[in-house]
Amino acid sequence: MDIVEELLKGNRLALSRAITAIENEYDDAVEIMKKLYPHTGHAFVLGITGPPGAGKSTLTDKLAKAYRAQGKTVGIIAIDPTSPFTGGAILGDRIRMNGLTMDEGVFIRSMGTRGSLGGLSHKTADAIKAMDAFGKDVIFVETVGVGQSEVDIVKAADTTMVVLIPGMGDDIQAIKAGILEIGDVFTINKADHDGADKLVRELNMMLDLDAHSEQMTQNSTEKALADQFHHLNVAKHAAGAAWRPPIQKVIASQNEGVAETIENIEKHFKYISENGILQQRRTERSKNEMLDVLHNNIGTYITRRLADTGELEEYVGQIKRRETDPYTVVADIMRDMLKE
């Protein structure tokens, strides 16, 4: 089977095989991506993140159905953690999405994090592109938690939705910085549980404070620091009035608040489209993509060469005996390479 040709014709098995090639880093993955690349750039990508059990998959199911009702085709990438001890994973997101399986306009793929932090975002980005080239109008990427790896994955999204639930206690404080930065749209799910209104109030306060402190730190020495921390959102305040992330109460399991959530998502997309932020984000993404491949390829190339010539082992020995240090060694290697 010619994977690319078949994928572009709408063959679902070909799409599936392409994603496998990406995930497993098969030799043909690069060729596949090269040929798919011209066909990408059309899909709207929504990142969905939040703590485990918040109802992300349940909500994804409902969102997907709503988009399908609008006649749009949907791709879903559901990422679950791989056990660091065994390398295995239980990928259970489909349990909440069984109603979508037989809809030909929906394609769901589960992925394990496989312990590769940087690598995962790279693979996720390529899996998104495969679905994009396949012709999906909307692509959801569900990830657990809001750690660094999620921030990376979120870079692949046009709009990022953070799903929180009442009763998380102090957790919200702990993940505050992370969620405030990456959320374009907030969803308080399980609004049928106590504490939803309290959480909405807390979150509102934090978001207002955040917007306020950003104004305060303009022109101050803190600005550099804040900018670094806010690198994901630099584009947020680029033009026009700043985007204030909306908060919506939802009961995903009862399909309540879903229409409003979609309105928020669409409002955000309209906002970033009209303010040039979408273009900026996509430019940033193209740059990251290129640099990712560059770093990856150069790193692999040099490592392989050093290993083949036996220099790697030699250097490691010298460093271990404290005859030299990693910085000097790498500077030497770079000098030699650049001379060639």
Q: Dig out the tokens for 265 from the structure.
A: 């998502």
Q: Is 58 in the site for Mg ion (CB under 5 A)?
A: no
Q: Which of other proteins, ligand GDP, Mg ion, none is residue 38 near (CB under 5 to 8 Å by kind)?
A: none
> What does the block give as tokens for 212?
């306020």
Q: Which does 143 bind (CB under 5 to 8 A by kind): ligand GDP, Mg ion, other proteins, none?
A: none
Q: Which residues ranging from 243 to 272 are in contact with ligand GDP (CB under 6 A)?
A: 251-253
- Could you say which residues in the range 177-236 bind other proteins, by CB under 8 A? none
CA of residue 140 relative to chain centroid, distance: 10
Which CB, 193 or 212, lies closer to ligand GDP?
193
Instruction: Rank residues 160 and 275 by Cβ distance to Mg ion and give the closer one.
Output: 160
Give, in order, the Cα–Cα distances in Å from 180 to each of 50, 185, 188, 237. Answer: 12, 10, 14, 14
Nearest to 145 by CA among 109, 108, 120: 120
State the residue for tokens 């970033």: 272
Least distance (Å) between residue 150 CB and Mg ion: 13
Q: Establish if 196 lies at the interface with ligand GDP (CB under 6 A).
A: no
For ligand GDP, give the closer residue by CB, 256 or 292: 256
Asked whether position 55 contacts ligand GDP by CB under 6 A, the answer is yes
- Would you count residue 58 as binding ligand GDP (CB under 6 A)? yes
Per rule CB under 8 A, is residue 303 in the interface with other proteins? no
| DSSP letter string, 127-168 | HHHHHHHHT-SEEEEEEEB-SHHHHHHHTT-SEEEEEE-TT-
Residue 76: strand, helix, or coil: strand
Instruction: Check residue 56 for interaction with other proteins (CB under 8 A).
Output: no
The pairing of beta strand 44-50 with beta strand 138-144: parallel
Is residue 248 a contact point for Mg ion (CB under 5 A)? no
Count of residues engaged in binding ligand GDP, rule: CB under 6 A:
16
The site that binds other proteins (CB under 8 A) totals a number of residues, namely 32
Residue 61 CA to residue 131 CA, distance in Å, equals 17
The helix/strand/coil state of 182 is helix
Nearer to Mg ion (CB atom), residue 93 or residue 158: 93
Contacting ligand GDP (CB under 6 A), which of 6, 103, 192, 289? 192
Q: In angstroms, what CA-CA distances link 277 with 84, 124, 168, 213, 272?
A: 37, 22, 33, 21, 5
Partner touching 240 among ligand GDP, Mg ion, other proteins, none, CB below 5 to 8 Å by kind: none
For 214, the 3-state DSSP assignment is helix
Binding region for ligand GDP (CB under 6 A) = 52-58, 93, 96, 189-190, 192-193, 251-253
